[in-house]
Amino acid sequence: MLVLYRSLLFILAMLLFLPQNSIAGLCQVPEKLPPPKIRIDWRNPSVSVDYLVYVLSWSPEFCHDRGEGRGQAYQCRVNRFGWVVHGLWPQSEKARSKYDHPRYCRLKPLPPRRLAAEVFCLMPSVNLIYGQWLKHGTCVFETPKEYFNAIAYLWEKIKRPDMAALYLRKGKSLRVGDVEQAFVALNRSLGLRRSAVTVWTDRKGYLEEVKICLTPSLGFRDCPNKRFNARRKVKIRLP
C-alpha cells in the first residue's frame, strides 16, 4: 500500500487545486444525514494493490430495480440522477475472484459527517459513502478526505456520455459497444481506450455500471483479462 500511496502524491497535490464547490448545488442533500449501517462481509487486508477501478453506476437502473422503498428517497425521489459514483476500488493483478482483491484493510478512521455531505451529490447514499471508504479506500489512502478528493478529481476529469441523447440515436439497437465508444470519444484526448472501459448490465439487460481501469497514478490502463469483443454486441435497455 505504501508504494501505491507514494505514487499518488503528485495527484494529491493536484487535488489541492480542485474547485471545492464544483459539486456543491448539484442535488438536494438531507439536512441531517442518517447514521450509516455497515456490514463487514469479508476482509483481505494483506493483498498488494496493483491498479484501481473507477466505478460509475447508472442511477435510473438502481432506482428502477432496487431503490424505491429502501431508504433511497434522496437518490430516487427527491433527486433525479444519471451517472453517480459507486466507488474507487483497489485491485490485485493476481485475483481470480472478487475475494482475492484488497478489502477492509482498516476499520478506522471514519469519514466525518461534513465530508459525507460534501460528496453526497456524487455518491447519494450514506451507506455507500462510508462503506466504500472502509471497504476500498482504506486499502490505498491514508484519510477519507484523500479518497473522496481522488473520486472528485476523477469526476471532474472523466466526461460521461448523455445516455438520453445516445438512446435517442440508437434506440433499441443500443449496445454495450456503443456505450464504451461514447466514453472513449469524450475522453480520447486524455488517452482513454476501449480496452480500459467495461460496461455491465443486469440480468434483464438494463445498463448497470461502467468500470474504468486506472494506474496507481490515476492514468488510464487496460483492464486485465478483458474479453474485448465478447460483450460489445450485447443490447442494452434503459429504464
pLDDT tens digits, one per residue of 17-61: 344 445 656 799 999 999 999 999 999 999 999 999 999 999 999
pLDDT tens digits, one per residue of 210-234: 999 999 999 999 998 766 566 788 9
Looking at domain 38-214, which CATH architecture does it have? Alpha-Beta Complex (3.90)
Spatial contact of 214 and 53, defined as CB atoms under 8 Å apart: yes
pTM above 0.95, yes or no: no
Residue showing cell 447514499: 125
Q: In the chain, what are the domain boundaries?
A: 38-214
The residues, any chain, with a CB within 8 Å of residue 82's CB and separated by 6 or more, are 58, 59, 60, 160, 162, 163, 164
